[in-house]
């Protein structure tokens, strides 16, 4: 492929662009004004991959995405959970405004099937969001997920251990979430169009809207 041909591709991201053409252009408010103010476009990058890195389960990573999931569940597309470490607590999701009729649970038969399942669901375009807890996956595998998310116009959210922060990742947005007094702190490790930032302090009380 020639350089001229490459430059005409709609999915090419050019340095300095806040978002690539056609990929991750649309954003969805996080429901947390303090975070929206730090994120390019003012919210979660749709049609792209987001990583939420935590030292352990139960820190608040799920609470971070619940307001957006509530809005997405009002659409006709599904919200898929792939290999969650715990069975999602339906009453808590309903209290957060998530329409449970739009939620799918996917449990791959084997660990190595997890990334394959995530990629297929991201690419299919039938889900507005895919939440996944991959047990493995290097840069090459994550790049495939990033491309699949763009193809399916699906928001991919990967919950991974904090130690993975030292590894490179093609995800357009990477966050490290830690417990804090009366809430949690969110460090922005990677975002397009700007450098790392943080921490942003968020309380336990649900955001407005």
Tell me the C-alpha distance between 143 and 122, whole Å.
Answer: 12
Tell me the C-alpha distance between 103 and 203, whole Å.
Answer: 26
Give 124-162 pLDDT, tens digit per residue: 999 999 999 987 778 889 999 999 999 999 999 999 999
pLDDT in tens, the chain (209 residues): 555 555 444 444 544 444 444 334 589 999 999 999 999 889 999 999 999 999 987 777 899 999 999 999 999 899 999 999 988 999 999 999 999 999 999 988 876 678 899 999 999 999 999 999 987 778 889 999 999 999 999 999 999 999 999 999 999 999 999 988 778 899 999 998 777 877 888 876 655 54
Give 160-185 pLDDT, tens digit per residue: 999 999 999 999 999 999 988 778 89
In terms of C-beta density within 10 A (0-12 exposed, 13-18 middle, 19 or more buried), how is residue 82 classed? buried
Q: What angle do CA 162, 36, 71 make, to 5 degrees?
A: 90
């Amino acid at each position: 492929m020639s350089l001229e041909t490459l430059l005409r591709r709609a999915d090419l991201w050019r340095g300095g662009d806040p978002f690539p053409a056609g990929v991750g252009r649309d954003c969805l408010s996080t429901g947390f004004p303090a975070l929206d103010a730090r994120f390019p476009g003012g919210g979660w990058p749709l049609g792209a991959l987001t990583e939420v890195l935590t030292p352990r389960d139960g820190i608040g990573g799920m609470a971070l995405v619940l307001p957006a999931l509530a809005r997405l569940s009002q659409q006709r597309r599904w919200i898929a959970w792939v290999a969650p470490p715990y069975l999602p607590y339906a009453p808590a999701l309903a209290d957060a405004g998530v329409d449970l009729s739009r939620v799918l649970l996917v449990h791959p038969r084997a660990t190595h099937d997890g990334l394959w399942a995530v990629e297929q669901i991201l690419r299919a375009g039938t889900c507005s969001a895919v939440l996944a807890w991959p047990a493995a996956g290097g840069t090459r595998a994550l790049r495939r997920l990033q491309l699949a998310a763009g193809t399916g116009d699906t928001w991919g959210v990967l919950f991974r251990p904090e130690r993975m922060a030292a590894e490179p990742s093609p995800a357009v947005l990477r966050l490290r979430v830690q417990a804090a007094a009366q809430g949690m702190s969110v460090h922005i490790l990677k975002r397009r169009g700007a450098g790392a930032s943080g921490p942003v302090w968020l309380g336990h009380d649900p955001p407005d809207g």
